[in-house]
Amino acid sequence: MLEVGQAALVRIGDLEIRAREGLVLASGRALTLSVREFDLLVALARNAGRIVSRDELYALVWGGDLRRGDRSCDVYVHKLRAKLEDALPGMRFIHTHVGFGYRLDPAPSHPFHNAATGP
């Protein structure tokens, strides 16, 4: 688990992260996150706007070295991304940079991602 630094409260768009309380609010509503998802969000938030490598995220959240073929980081990013996008539709918070890592930077979703499927 991550240690809480000086920033006890981080706001990124409509997302509020209260690290000391282990609480994340989306437009004022509490999100239910696992410990790993919360730690992952805190790690990305502390590096908001910067691409964070999978190796670095793994070290920050799991506390060790990422083993070859381990997809834990990707799985938890996917889960966290889905929860954030469900809580704040029309926004994309976590961006994938293939071959580099992930970046937390709120932006409106591309209209293609928001289109309803079916007739």
Task: Specify if 2 maps to a domain.
Answer: no
- Asked whether the predicted pLDDT for residue 27 surpasses 50, the reply is yes
- Asked whether the predicted pLDDT for residue 2 surpasses 50, the reply is no
41-55 confidence digits (pLDDT tens): 999 999 999 999 999
Structural domains counted in the chain: 1
Task: Specify if 20 maps to a domain.
Answer: yes
CATH of the domain at 99: 1.10.10.10
73-105 confidence digits (pLDDT tens): 999 999 999 999 999 999 999 999 998 999 999
| Residue 75, domain extent | 9-114
Strands (E), the chain: 9-12, 15-18, 23-26, 29-30, 91-97, 101-108
pTM here is 0.84
